[in-house]
Amino acid sequence: MLLNSTNFSYFILAAYFDTGLFKHLIFLLILCLYVLIIVSNLLLIVVICMNRSLHEPMYLFLCSLFVNELYGATGLFPFLLTQVLSDIHSVPRTLCFLQIYCVYFYSLNELFNLTVMSYDRYHAICFPLQYNTHMSFKKVATLTASAWFPAVFFTSVMIVLSSSLQLCGNIINKVYCDNYHIVRLSCGDITANNIYGLFATTLTILVPLILILFTYVRIFKVCFSGSKQTRQKALSTCSPHLASLINFSFGVCFEVLQSRFDMSNVPNILRIVLSLYFLTCQPLFNPVMYGLKLSKIRQLAFCLLCLLPEKQTLKIFT
């Protein structure tokens, strides 16, 4: 065993600072954001599941995306709410690795879901006449599974490798547990972690981004060679997905920048916001974007909220 190395039973989150009288206000703001995320995503899931006219590939993929948003938010917000009210920001080892699993699984699944959705939009725009044949229910189920199961596998292997490391410290300079910071605390051999990290990054980030780029190159090619009506339809169909992809990409970039580079000159509160962006804004951004952009979902959501007469609501949902 290496000198001064040990398996700590807990980790200390050092990014928290004393908020004094604002502690309860911050708690209420985080709670309101969490409730808003849960309600908005759950509402659209119920709308898609209840209405038969929405049992189409695009909406089923959206349902998978919204379920992942609920999962990601639940992996973070209850933990944040507890830490904000606590004076001692320590986390048991098991709970810390559980949160790492939730955060990384959410991130990978989010990108995989966005990749699958770009593939769906590619078929809808480039092969509209063959769309129903290409995107059968069996294929939709297979594509959905291909977004969830790889995320389980890659995240599980990462947790096994990280949890077996001998650590020389237990202080994480963040407001939630992060795998990269735990690996940095290791004073043993991290060759296996580095090799796996490079391998996993290539398969889980580079490959999906290449597939998304390929689909949009083909989509834009069809748009520019088609009529004005075709371009407008394609833009209307793809704009929510593109907006979601850009928002998620910016959030991940913010997280990478503040984790991998020295940002000591940046105010602490700004570093915290940057690290939380893709875990807080994305789950709220997606239901708002798709709910407002897709008129069918918007109308049915209003019906579910009883904003239309009861008879009309029943008529639409049957």
For the stretch 175-233, pLDDT in tens is: 999 999 999 999 888 999 999 999 998 999 999 999 999 999 998 888 877 677 777 77
Cα separation, 203 vs 231, in Å, equals 32
pLDDT score of 316: 43
pLDDT band at 308 (very low <50, low <70, confident <90, very high): very low
Say if residue 315's pLDDT is above 60: no
Q: What is the mean pLDDT of residues 288-309?
A: 66
Q: Taking all residues of the chain, what is their mean pLDDT, rounded to a whole number?
A: 86
Q: Lowest-pLDDT range, 112-121, 189-198, 219-228, 235-244?
A: 219-228
Terminal Cα distance for the chain, rounded: 66
Q: What is the mean pLDDT of residues 63-85?
A: 93
Domain membership of residue 101 (yes or no) is yes
- Confidence grade of residue 5 (pLDDT, cut at 50, 70, 90): low
Tell me what the mean pLDDT of segment 70-84 comes to: 93
Percent share of the chain, pLDDT over 90: 48
Domain count, the chain: 1
Question: What range defines the domain where residue 133 resides?
Answer: 10-316
Lowest mean per-residue pLDDT among 46-55, 207-216, 241-250, 275-284: 46-55
Q: Is the pLDDT of residue 119 over 90?
A: yes
Q: Is residue 3 part of a domain?
A: no
Residue 4: the pLDDT is: 54
Name the strands in the sheet holding 171-172, side by side, starting at the edge strand that comes first in the sequence.
90-92, 10-13, 171-172
pLDDT for the residue numbered 240: 87
Q: Report whether pLDDT(151) > 90.
A: yes
Please report the pLDDT score of residue 301 as a whole number: 65
Asked whether the predicted pLDDT for residue 248 surpasses 80, the reply is yes
Angle between helices 23-50 and 57-85 (to 10 degrees): 160
The model's pTM: 0.89
For residues 234 and 223, the answer to whether their CB atoms sit within 8 Å is yes
What are the C-alpha distances in Å from 302 to residues 33, 40, 118, 150, 236? 21, 12, 27, 36, 21
Give the per-residue pLDDT at 77: 94
Q: What CATH number is given to the structural domain containing 279?
A: 1.20.1070.10
In a domain, 291, yes or no: yes
92 DSSP β-pair partners: 10
Average pLDDT in the 236-255 region? Answer: 88
Kindly state whether residue 197 falls inside one of the protein's structural domains: yes
In a domain, 2, yes or no: no
Tens digit of each residue's pLDDT (9 = 90 or more) over 266-283 = 788 888 888 899 899 999
DSSP string, the chain: --TT-B--SEEEETT----GGGHHHHHHHHHHHHHHHHHHHHHHHHHHHH-GGG-SHHHHHHHHHHHHHHHHHHHHHHHHHHHHH-SS-EEEHHHHHHHHHHHHHHHHHHHHHHHHHHHHHHHHHH-STTHHHHS-HHHHHHHHHHHHHHHHHHHHHHHHHHHT--BS--EESSSS--HHHHHHTB-S--HHHHHHHHHHHIIIIIHHHHHHHHHHHHHHHHHHHS-HHHHHHHHHHHHHHHHHHHHHHHHHHHHHHHHHS--TTS-HHHHHHHHHHHHHHHHHHHHHHHHHH-HHHHHHHHHHTT-S-HHHHHHHT-
Q: Which of 167-181, 244-258, 300-314 has the lowest mean pLDDT?
A: 300-314
Round to whole Å and give the CA distance between 294 and 164: 47
In a domain, residue 252? The reply is: yes
Report pLDDT for 22: 84
Identify the pLDDT of residue 19: 77
- The reply to whether 4 falls in a domain is no
Instruction: Scan for tokens 């940002």, then name that residue.
Output: 263
- Asked whether residue 309 is domain-assigned, the answer is yes
Phi, psi of 92 (to 5 degrees): -55, 145
Q: Confidence band (pLDDT; 50, 70, 90) for 49? A: confident
